[in-house]
Amino acid sequence: MVRVEPTGPLVVQPGAASDVKVSAAIAGLGIIYLFEDRLSDAIAQGALVPVLESWWQSFSGPFLYFSSRRLMPAPLRAFVDFIKR
């Protein structure tokens, strides 16, 4: 049995302020739910300890579906190029 007793209220919206969430988890304020890639350094250094590993979901990467490559709008082209990097 694992018991977690956070010391104060901290609410961070999903997708926002991931640095704040990681810092709070390292400080012992609670459990963090974030992509493994983002937490791998802290886990390797022993600052964070993985929990419920058998429940982790795999993530093969982002997928983007769009109708055509010929007439792709410039903002979409920039986004695709950004994601590829």
- Domain annotation covers residue 71: yes
- Domain annotation covers residue 13: no
Provide the domain limits for residue 72: 18-84
Give the pLDDT score at 37. 83
- Domain annotation covers residue 68: yes
pLDDT tens, position by position, for the chain (85 residues)? 777 776 667 777 766 778 888 998 899 888 888 888 889 999 999 999 999 888 888 877 778 777 766 788 889 889 888 888 7
Residues 59 and 77: their CA atoms lie apart, in Å, by 24
Give the pLDDT score at 47. 95
Give the pLDDT score at 50. 92
Residues 57 and 80: their CA atoms lie apart, in Å, by 25
Give the pLDDT score at 30. 82
Query: What is the domain count for the chain?
Result: 1
Any residues with CB less than 8 A from the CB of 50 and at least 6 apart, and which? 43
